[in-house]
Amino acid sequence: MGSCIFCEIAAGRSFVRMVYSDRDVLCFFPLEPEMLGHTLIVSRNHYCDMRDAPAEFGHAAFSAALRLSRHYEKALGTSAFNFMNASGAEAEQSVPHLHFHYLPRFGLENFSTWPKLPPFKTNLDILLQKLKLV
Ligand SMILES: [Zn+2]
């Protein structure tokens, strides 16, 4: 995994500004943050994306996000956050190593992190027949 930048960071071979780490996650600032406090929550192990990781990793990522939330509330005065993931190139995942973007929100931003998608129509009953799991 020598060519994976996040594995290089996990191995301590690349410098990052580490906010927090434990046996499961690394939390550090991206080189070019999108906003104040933008932090990556990265799996210590190499998983390509969420489909590649054990479900238990979700607990570790969720715990790290909550830890950042409590800390950034006190340290930066944040009031909320976005917790975002892309799994797969078609979902615009840029680094093929599982990571989440933690975006602290202050309530004063004049932007949205939600995509503006074109309107579409579908028959939800037919879709439900196709997708229902139980
Ligand atoms: Zn990796």
Query: Could you read off the pLDDT of 72-120 as tens digits, one per residue?
Result: 999 999 999 999 999 999 999 999 999 999 999 998 888 888 888 999 9
- Model-level pTM? 0.92
Token output for 79: 């009031």
Residues 6 or more apart whose CB falls under 8 angstroms from that of 24 comprise: 43, 44, 45, 57, 60, 61, 64
99 CA → ligand 1 middle, Å: 10
79 CA → ligand 1 middle, Å: 32
* Domain map (residue ranges) of the chain: 5-131
Query: Could you read off the pLDDT of 75-87 as tens digits, one per residue?
Result: 999 999 999 999 9
What is the CATH architecture of 5-131? Answer: 2-Layer Sandwich (3.30)
